[in-house]
Amino acid sequence: MSAWAIGNLSIRQGNAALLAAAKSDADERVRETAVWAIAERGDASAAGTVGDVLANEKNPAVRATAAWALGELEPKTAPRGLISALTDDDERVRMTAAWALSEIGDAAALPALRTALSRPATDRTRKAQIRALLETGEDPDRLVEQLKSPDASVRAAVAQALAGKGHINPWPWPQPRPRPFP
C-alpha cells in the first residue's frame, strides 16, 4: 500500500524509495506495485532500473508488470531485459514485452521480434508481436511472407495488419466485424 501511495506523490518525492523497493523488497507484491508506481509517475529516467528488474526478477507477475511499465515509460531505446523477455517462459511476459517494444519503437528489437514469430504463442501474443514489428520499422511488404506461415495465428494477425494498412492495434482488441453505420 505504501508503494501505491508513493506512486501518487510528485515525481521528485519517493523515486529512490520506489526504485529500491522494485529491486529488492522481500515481498513480490511490493516489488510489483513499486514497478507499477514508477510507470504511473512517468519518469523515463527509471527505465534502466525497471529493465534490470525485468531481467533479474523470478516472479512472472512482477516481470510482466515491469515489461508493461517500460512500455508506459517509453524510453528512446529498449532497456536491458526487454528484448530478451520475448523468450520468457511466461506467455503474459512475452505478450507484454512485445506490446512494450511496440510502444518504444526501437529497431534493435526487429531480429528478436522476427524470431519470436517462429515460436508457439497465443493469438493475443501474435497480435502484439506483429504490431511491435510494424511499430519498430518492419517493412509491411516483408510481412507478406508471413502469410505462408504454417501457424494460422501468424497468418491471421498478418492479414489483419495488412488490412489495417500496416497497423494493428491490440489495445483495445478489434471487434469481430466492423461497426454498422447508420
Long-range residue pairs from 50-54, CB within 8 A, at least 24 positions apart, any chain: 50/22, 50/79, 51/78, 51/79, 51/80, 51/81, 51/82, 52/23, 52/79, 52/80, 52/81, 53/22, 53/23, 53/81, 54/79, 54/80, 54/81, 54/82, 54/85, 54/97
Please check whether residue 180 lies inside any domain of the structure: no
Answer whether residue 170 is part of any domain: no
**pLDDT, tens only, 91-148:** 999 999 999 999 999 999 999 999 998 898 888 898 899 989 988 999 888 888 889 9
Do 79 and 50 touch, CB atoms closer than 8 A?
Answer: yes
* pTM of the complete model: 0.82
% of the chain residues with pLDDT over 90: 57
Domain that holds residue 74: 2-163
DSSP state of 146: G
What CATH number does residue 12 fall under?
1.25.10.10
